Amino acid sequence: MASNTLTFGIYQSPFGMVLIAVTPKGISRLVFVEKGKEKAAVAELTKLNPQVMLKRSDAAVAQFGKQAFASTKSKTPLEMSGTPFQLKVWKALRAIPRGKVATYGDIAKKIGAPRAARAVGSACGKNRIAMLIPCHRVVGSTGTVGHYHWGSARKKKLLEWESAK
């Protein structure tokens, strides 16, 4: 993969289709895509990366998909881009073990911003590397599943699947 090329593809995960985009540094995007919305997901990827040549290869990204949904912790390198606050939040999320959850407040305390639970929620909502930046492992202070960019039902299924592993 050349540095000005973004390889992407569609992978069928246990929880639905995902679009995965990979740079030479690692996964830069892993988002759930509803059936029939693949073209819209590719159009969004194109819009977000106007200076980059996109190369579709479902086969090339399949290995990354398999790793992301493996039962053991993925060692897949990521290319995360966000604000310094978002990057702190996402790093803290990656430390939550599979099968476990933390509250937005827990994450806020962990990153040294104990009053920033809502901002943590906002950073979770901006995450575009599902599973590998596990925002689905963050729950409300009462233990409720709460919101998830790709749907609360999917979040519940992800948590149940991880707990069973």
Residues designated catalytic: 135
Three-state SS letters, the chain: CCCCEEEEEEEEECCEEEEEEEECCEEEEEEECCCCCHHHHHHHHHHHCCCCEEEECHHHHHHHHHHHCCCCCCCCCECCCCCHHHHHHHHHHHCCCCCCCEEHHHHHHHCCCCCCHHHHHHHHHHCCECCCCCHHHEECCCCCCCCCCCCHHHHHHHHHHHHHC
Beta bridge mates, 103 = 139
Residue 133, amino acid:
I
